[in-house]
Chain A
């Protein structure tokens, strides 16, 4: 098994640790006086990156199976809205969470059906789904925010703290640990990697590759739905714009984390670290006092630099 993550860190994965440490150290020095290292700020980073990390775990599986999903950003909004609306209508937390996750399952099944059964490239399918899902999100919410005032919901799904630990951090940890185990230690994970690594050999080995692809698309959409629910809890409400800007950040985080865009190779831990890098960047660039345009430019430059570093290491 390929589970010797700690004993034999391969070079490609170790670069991500170096990049992570490098960026962290850089900001610690430049932004020392602006409170980058203050516990409050660090906890803030943990909160801000939780949803990105959770989505990155799902996207790792998608890239490992050699597909792509562009629609999960729209799922974030849909699930947040569905959850908020169900909560308002019924007052039931379990029901509203199930409804939110259910919207993810539905989108995942839709994507998976067209990708696996009909054989349409995932890029096209999920591009189409993005339109459909955001359309639905806008339509059901009439472009309005839907507030949430259920304290228990808000505490558990995003705003609470367990002692000093933000509850979002706990969610991230749970998803990441399960993600690592599933990818590296279960039949489903191995089948995912095999399907992405060589679909024909996987098929010849008796793996139902279509079912695996379907499963991965559902998994990713469900994690996006969870992220949507957490956004709703953290922001005390839902809005159709949620998740919009997360798509590129999540995909970049996963690739920086060492997962191959061509399938068959991936690391959940790498993706979470990639997400943390994105979070630190965001936070650091804001603390530096850069305006939004400058942040965009800097972020782009740093992403390309990081990916270049990881790729170079891979070749040697």
Chain B
């Protein structure tokens, strides 16, 4: 019998005395695409980081293609043919796309010098195989491209290693449909070449498109492992949360009551990257912004949040024009933001959960002179419960939270700011299906309490179902405005 690509037996690991994986068995067959799913903090990333040599198991056996010689670094994993796309991207921001793609393999040389021309051509080839050679310039720096593009570069980097086992940890979290479809075609091709793939995702529907088997983790233990053909989305969710849970909700739309003034108005706002954008949001409304990568949806938020300088145009909050030149002006005007990149823009990783949530509202937490630990404690504990954050307590450093739980902290920060206008840039990025619905419900609650919500998502399905009104952005300008019910496909057409 041929050995499996990966076999894991009775794997255990704990951090600070807290068990994170307990008695995990996991088998990845050769040529198989294996979905790994579970709620935020279930231990998915931890499991694959062990397989990739980043974390070191406490006990258990791991064999790769029948060999159980231990390895303890990503280099060791690579020698066994394993490559991984990390959930928290591992790219070096000041380096170029090309340099990043070839960072973890021996460089192309010409004599003693680097052969940059060859590296460039190879990078273009790999990007072309992902169908994005026209969107991503191999010479641009990582820090200058969007998160979605970075994710594609990360995938290109793993492919450049020509692995026999490819691990993808939430590779599609910030990709839009067309890019996801390309990725799926790449996966099909790799499958055809007999490459084994571990695919972690919170988009359970995708599993049924591309995966052969699925393993569900709950609180660090395997609760289900079977061929995809023998299960369905409801069973998966049921196993993930350990009980009944919804998989989708039909949101009720709210029409602005007649005579009510808009809470947020933009009049002909122009910056370096957007042109003449006008829109309004009424209290109680959730307004979506649909656009492709580079359409200016994030830049619109940057303008509103005082990050990009406004060249012309007015921003009016609650009937009063506001001068916003910095995020602190925006917060003072009652505008809060969930930024697109949680680790770079949303969190101080070496701060505790509590300190992170406190940051925008320090003024409100002051006692006579010193900060009041009591006030912040109560507030933070409330949000931990409200958003179902999996953390040891409010003092745990966010660096050690799972990706989805970090995202929840960013959302909590925004909600706790008591702003009247919430700018949400992919707020449920990396959040599991159950918590996601919960967060959407909370956003709806906030809207119902008279706040104005602007919502950006790379998922058009989510926009179509969730928003009361959707503005279409193209090349930095508003090209349309949809108030009736639309479908995902119609939206897709409109943004092209």
CB-based contact B376/A1 at 8 Å? yes
Residue-wise, chain B 299-342 has the 8 Å CB interface mask toward A (1 for contact) of 00000010100000000000000000011101110000101000
CB-based contact B348/A202 at 8 Å? yes
CB-based contact B345/A197 at 8 Å? no
CB-based contact B360/A205 at 8 Å? yes
CB-based contact B370/A181 at 8 Å? yes
Whether A2 touches B355, Cβ cut-off 8 Å, given contacts A194-B348, A201-B347, A206-B330, is yes
Cα separation A208 to B348 with both chains bound (whole Å): 15
CB-based contact A202/B359 at 8 Å? yes
Select the residue from B347, B352, B363, B376 with max chain A CB neighbours within 10 A. B347
Which residues on A sit within 8 Å (CB–CB) of B349?
A: 197-198
Q: Would you give the shortest CB distance from A211 to chain B, in whole angstroms?
A: 9
CB-based contact B360/A206 at 8 Å? yes
CB-based contact B345/A187 at 8 Å? no
Across the two chains, which residue of chain A brings its CB closest to B417? A206
Which residues on B sit within 8 Å (CB–CB) of A315?
A: none
Cα separation A191 to B327 with both chains bound (whole Å): 14
CB-based contact B362/A190 at 8 Å? yes
Across the two chains, which residue of chain B brings its CB closest to A211? B328
Cα separation A200 to B366 with both chains bound (whole Å): 23
CB-based contact B370/A194 at 8 Å? no
Is B344 positioned at the interface, with any CB of A under 8 Å from its CB?
Answer: yes
Cα separation A48 to B362 with both chains bound (whole Å): 38
Cα separation A187 to B369 with both chains bound (whole Å): 9
Q: A186 is contacted by which of B305, B332, B344, B369 (Cβ under 8 Å)?
A: B369
Cα separation A206 to B346 with both chains bound (whole Å): 11
Which residues on A sit within 8 Å (CB–CB) of B386?
A: none
CB-based contact A204/B327 at 8 Å? yes
CB-based contact A201/B326 at 8 Å? no
Is A279 positioned at the interface, with any CB of B under 8 Å from its CB?
Answer: no
Is A249 positioned at the interface, with any CB of B under 8 Å from its CB?
Answer: no
Q: Would you give the shortest CB distance from A206 to chain B, in whole angstroms?
A: 4
Is A127 positioned at the interface, with any CB of B under 8 Å from its CB?
Answer: no
Which residues on A sit within 8 Å (CB–CB) of B305?
A: 204
Cα separation A207 to B332 with both chains bound (whole Å): 11
Is A142 positioned at the interface, with any CB of B under 8 Å from its CB?
Answer: no
Which residues on A sit within 8 Å (CB–CB) of B376?
A: 1
Cα separation A205 to B326 with both chains bound (whole Å): 10
CB-based contact A201/B348 at 8 Å? yes
Chain A contributes a number of interface residues (CB within 8 A of B) equal to 25
Across the two chains, which residue of chain B brings its CB closest to A8? B395
Is B239 positioned at the interface, with any CB of A under 8 Å from its CB?
Answer: no
Cα separation A194 to B413 with both chains bound (whole Å): 14
Select the residue from A190, A198, A205, A208 with max chain B CB neighbours within 10 A. A205
Is A3 positioned at the interface, with any CB of B under 8 Å from its CB?
Answer: yes
Cα separation A147 to B406 with both chains bound (whole Å): 60
Across the two chains, which residue of chain A brings its CB closest to B344? A200
Which residues on A sit within 8 Å (CB–CB) of B332?
A: 206
Which residues on B sit within 8 Å (CB–CB) of A47?
A: none
CB-based contact B359/A190 at 8 Å? yes
Whether A197 touches B327, Cβ cut-off 8 Å, given contacts A4-B395, A191-B362, is no
CB-based contact A193/B328 at 8 Å? no
Across the two chains, which residue of chain A brings its CB closest to B354? A1
Q: B370 is contacted by which of A4, A185, A206 (Cβ under 8 Å)?
A: A185
Select the residue from A2, A3, A198, A206 with max chain B CB neighbours within 10 A. A206
Across the two chains, which residue of chain B brings its CB closest to A189? B371
Q: Would you give the shortest CB distance from B252 to chain A, in whole angstroms?
A: 32
Whether A187 touches B348, Cβ cut-off 8 Å, given contacts A1-B376, A206-B330, is no
Is A270 positioned at the interface, with any CB of B under 8 Å from its CB?
Answer: no
Which residues on A sit within 8 Å (CB–CB) of B330?
A: 206
Contact residues of B between 198 and 218, Cβ < 8 Å to A: none
Which residues on A sit within 8 Å (CB–CB) of B346?
A: 201, 204
CB-based contact B360/A197 at 8 Å? no
Across the two chains, which residue of chain B brings its CB closest to A210? B326
CB-based contact B370/A207 at 8 Å? no
Which residues on B sit within 8 Å (CB–CB) of A42?
A: none
Which residues on A sit within 8 Å (CB–CB) of B358?
A: 190
Q: Would you give the shortest CB distance from A161 to chain B, in whole angstroms?
A: 31
Is B350 positioned at the interface, with any CB of A under 8 Å from its CB?
Answer: yes
Is B351 positioned at the interface, with any CB of A under 8 Å from its CB?
Answer: yes
Is B373 positioned at the interface, with any CB of A under 8 Å from its CB?
Answer: yes
Which residues on A sit within 8 Å (CB–CB) of B360?
A: 205-206
Q: A208 is contacted by which of B328, B352, B359 (Cβ under 8 Å)?
A: B328
Which residues on A sit within 8 Å (CB–CB) of B327?
A: 203-206
Across the two chains, which residue of chain A brings its CB closest to B338? A204
CB-based contact A205/B359 at 8 Å? yes
Q: Would you give the shortest CB distance from A44 to chain B, in whole angstroms?
A: 35
Q: Would you give the shortest CB distance from A83 to chain B, in whole angstroms?
A: 29
Which residues on A sit within 8 Å (CB–CB) of B339?
A: 204
Cβ-closest 4 pairs across A and B: A205-B359, A187-B362, A206-B331, A206-B328
* Interface CB pairs A-B, < 8 A, 19: A187-B362, A187-B366, A191-B359, A193-B348, A194-B351, A197-B350, A198-B347, A200-B344, A201-B345, A201-B347, A201-B348, A202-B348, A203-B327, A204-B346, A206-B331, A207-B328, A208-B326, A264-B351, A265-B350
What residues make up the interface of A, taking CB atoms closer than 8 Å to B?
1-4, 181, 185-187, 190-191, 193-194, 197-198, 200-208, 264-265
